Structure 1
Amino acid sequence: MPELLIRPRRDVVRGPLMGDPGASGRFGEYGGRYIPESLIGACREVEEAFRDAWADPGFRGQLDRLLATYAGRPTPLTPAIRLSAELGLTVLLKREDLTHTGSHKINNVLGQAMLAKRMGRTHLIAETGAGQHGVATATAAALFGLQATVFMGAKDIERQELNVFRMRMLGAQIVPVTSGAQTLKDATSEAMRHWVGAVDTAHYCMGSVLGPAPYPWMVREFQRVIGDEARRQCATELPAAVPDYVVACVGGGSNAAGTFAGFVDTPARLIGVEADGGAGASKGRLGVLHGVRSMFLQDDDGQVTEAHSIAAGLDYPGIGPEHVHLRDLGRARYVTVADDEVVAAAVRLARTEGIIAALESAHALAWIMRGELPPGSTVMVTLSGRGDKDLGSLKGAL
């Protein structure tokens, strides 16, 4: 079977990959800061505080200790032995599902909560779709003695009942969003609107590599721990030190960005897997939403259209700007899978490896299970979260 080729656009100027985007907050032609004047000062303050903190060994050391003693890092790199034999591949699973709170979201939120305290903020504002970012935000708020307000689409509240209960147990206020499709896009809009009136006391804890600068860069840096750990682990587990393919699911794209950051300067092929009904990189058009210039699903009049995915965390009509930049450079490839493939992949992993993955993570698994990869390839898949929250959606598959 021929190799899967990723062809770069010839009109894209190359530069350092997955580094500091600088004052413009841009990755090529994407990114930036497209927000009301009332939020310009707040975003600049966040950027200044983050740059100062990220250069401070004390801040970095405290975060590393929290990630180790509280979040449970490093997470293991688990060989999927039976699944590998069935597929004719070597499949390694980076186990973000084993972190405290059950997903990669805790990596970013602990960093942002520490930053909020450093800035003198007393309140965290967040959006959530699948509920995992909301749970992580509520967790960090409880840990640091902060208030937490989480905006969540009414439809997502209904299909993610377990995570809603967890947030309330942790003391967070949940604000149901009934506008639009009542999912992640609408929750993000309401959270940003609320921040406008609370910038002096609240920090907006963005959950993905989206939003105005510096959020896409800052969230990627807090999630970089995934890729950095995985690269060290692969170096000891694999004869070639790096896998042939590094695969992660992509909605906004934070777990993929953090994973790719560890391998972007290696020969590994980077594959982001989107939901077929929410594929910003694969089907989007250039536009602006939630303060960032990126690729979004749009109609012929340029209006953002609704996304759909069985996985609430991928039910977003766009993708982070750095992912589009990586796509244009030919450094990463973005593909889509359908809901039925995702359910089948989640069931297959459970029955071959005894691991129930989140439906978001199952998108990455679904793509490698298609049989398109060359036999004998080594594939590392980031399992971004555990699937307890999705058992209701999976009932019909059993």
Structure 2
Amino acid sequence: MAKIDEDMSLDHIPPAIYKELVNELNKNSNWQVLAYHVAEELEYQWNSWLQSLEQNISTTKTPADNLLFELNVKMCTVGILCTLLRDCELGSVLSVLHHPEPSIIVKHPSDGMECKSLKIPFGQHLYLSCKATGIPPPSYQWCHNNIELQGQQSHELDIIINSCNQAGEYNCKISQVTKDGKAVNSVLLTKSVFVDISHIPVVIQQQPSTFLEIKEGEDFTIKCIAQGHPKPCYQWFRDNTRLEGETSNVLHMDLPREKASAKIALIIANDDYENHKCLETPKNDAAKISNLLKEIGFKVICLVNLSLEQMRNAMKVFSEVLTEGVYGLFYYAGHGFKMQESYMLAIDAPASYLRKDAICESELLAMLLQNDPTLLVAILDMCQTVPPK
């Protein structure tokens, strides 16, 4: 039912309603849609009719004003204009003149389908459409598995199937909202269409590492990625034996850590040099390190002011106990120098020394690692000076 007398001529429409009518016609070129429909009904030439309506326009006179003037001249009434607007499906314009009418779904997405399901291959379009009538004009919101699809607010849904997750139920919510944002009547829901994606063979996109080197007791993580439809299932195996519960694409293994069979530390502190400046801190530093190591279960051998031969002998004896399962720690405090690698000076080092007069870090490590201890830490607490020429 019209808000005003349907027999009223257009020039007698109340000014407020007339102004709103003109504004709605000018939106989105709605006046062109109406003008084209009128031209077809009256068998006018469309182009010339449109051009005449666009002439003599100004800030106060728009094409919509010209169109309503022409319709008024042709004895168009409010009732006839409502019929024309309904035929053109210009619901937003019609709502200016007409009282609200509840939405009616006139076409469901499943109409014309033999069954309510579709099977669509990857990369193909899914096209669905629905139709509803009402005043104000219905708004559409497509949903997938009851979740609103962003940007899909047309009466048509056209998307490309590129993911297995797109399978499922599709339908459309239909609502009516006034210009001030108030909902009119209840939300309608179309009949659903169920989409199934054609079977896609499993393709492994990422293989787990074919070779992984880890130390005994270390954790490790490996993964693989596969695509297909239905969604691939995973099951990890070790030596052809199923690993229970490992059914994701990521495998994390916490391997048991072997406890140290022994913890032994060798500390050498040189400060009383025969041919070099004596040092003040090595003994104190050695004592502090020794106490800390004892607190965490280390057996500590602490030696002070050793000659070159004594240092080598101590390292040799120390290396013999550094076997598999043993945690070892070597700490040296004293004079040293740097020539490509670090060198430790014994207390009997000559004033003008050469590399043969010291023990380098590679010699140290070669001795201490020869029996493959589980852990070895070497700390050289010394200067890194360049030897005199």
Same topology, TM > 0.5 = no
- Name which one, 1 or 2, has greater alpha-carbon Rg: 2
Higher normalized helix content (fraction of residues): 1
Could you tell me the TM-score, scaled by structure 2's length?
0.22
Could you tell me the TM-score, scaled by structure 1's length?
0.21
Name the structure, 1 or 2, with higher relative contact order (CA <8 Å, separation 6+): 1
